[in-house]
Structure 1
């Protein structure tokens, strides 16, 4: 600009505003469980400063769940009882089957004895009675000398 020349519009002068340095406070000591390290979070503020610190996890309430209507133990006991009665029923049927089979075999043995005994009785009784045909041997006239039979 020339010294004789004055600007036609008003001039505003802006002076930078100093940002006061943050006051350093000592951070409280956070108790840490042994073996766990808390997470560190950094936040950038709108004026460009960065704030770093430990993230605090807020405890979350557990979701409310309804207890089951029937306990697992009761269900297991009931299923065990059903299985036990099913096995007992099967064993009862098995023993009934074995008893029936034994009785049937016993009746077959008795029937065979009666039939065979009747056949033997018929054979014995038919030889002592009336004969039709066959060979007749007369041993009255035989001579026995010195334990030898001469016919």
Structure 2
């Protein structure tokens, strides 16, 4: 790179020593006409590393991949909790409504009883007052009025 260049070959790369350059070409694998046999493994155990022998004698070693297991979904109950809560709330509401109907009926019956007692007291008290007013048996302190045959002439009372 430090060689002097002429104006017409500035775009050409500098020539290096041919022995210093090594070119690596990958060797293609021959197609496998059938499945390669697996190395015998003890039954019931899966090794951490698996080796496969190819038909041409080469051994390919790698890790085995376990299939992804889906996470277990929590089993749901046959009836959801929200439905149970709604049902229990409805039963409680129906129970309370029944109690409120009974309470309302009790209050109405109590009001009717009080109304009847007031009417009974008025009838008894009114009867007692009437007996007192209209009773003929006087007790000496009352005023007695004797009505005689009176004659009224020309707007004058002659008694």
- Alignment correspondent of 2:117: 111
TM-score, normalisation: structure 1: 0.51
Structure 1 residues 81, 145: closer, same or farther in 2, change over 3 A? Answer: farther
TM-score, normalisation: structure 2: 0.49
Tell me how far apart the structure 2 counterparts of residues 142 and 68 of structure 1 sit (CA, whole Å).
Answer: 114
Deviations 1:3-41 (A, max 9, x none): xxxxxxxxxxxx535124679xxxxxxxxxxxxxxxxxx
- Indicate the RMSD between aligned Cα atoms, in angstroms: 3.2
- Alignment correspondent of 2:91: 85
2:19 is equivalent to residue 19 of structure 1: no
Structure 1 residues 139, 129: closer, same or farther in 2, change over 3 A? Answer: closer
Structure 1: gaps of 5 or more residues: 1-14, 24-59
Shift of 1:125: 1.9
2:122 is equivalent to residue 99 of structure 1: no
Shift of 1:136: 2.8
Shift of 1:141: 5.0
Structure 2: gaps of 5 or more residues: 1-18, 28-66
- Alignment correspondent of 2:42: none
Structure 1 residues 65, 110: closer, same or farther in 2, change over 3 A? Answer: same
Shift of 1:62: 6.2
Q: What is the number of equivalent residue pairs in this alignment? A: 99
- Alignment correspondent of 2:73: 66
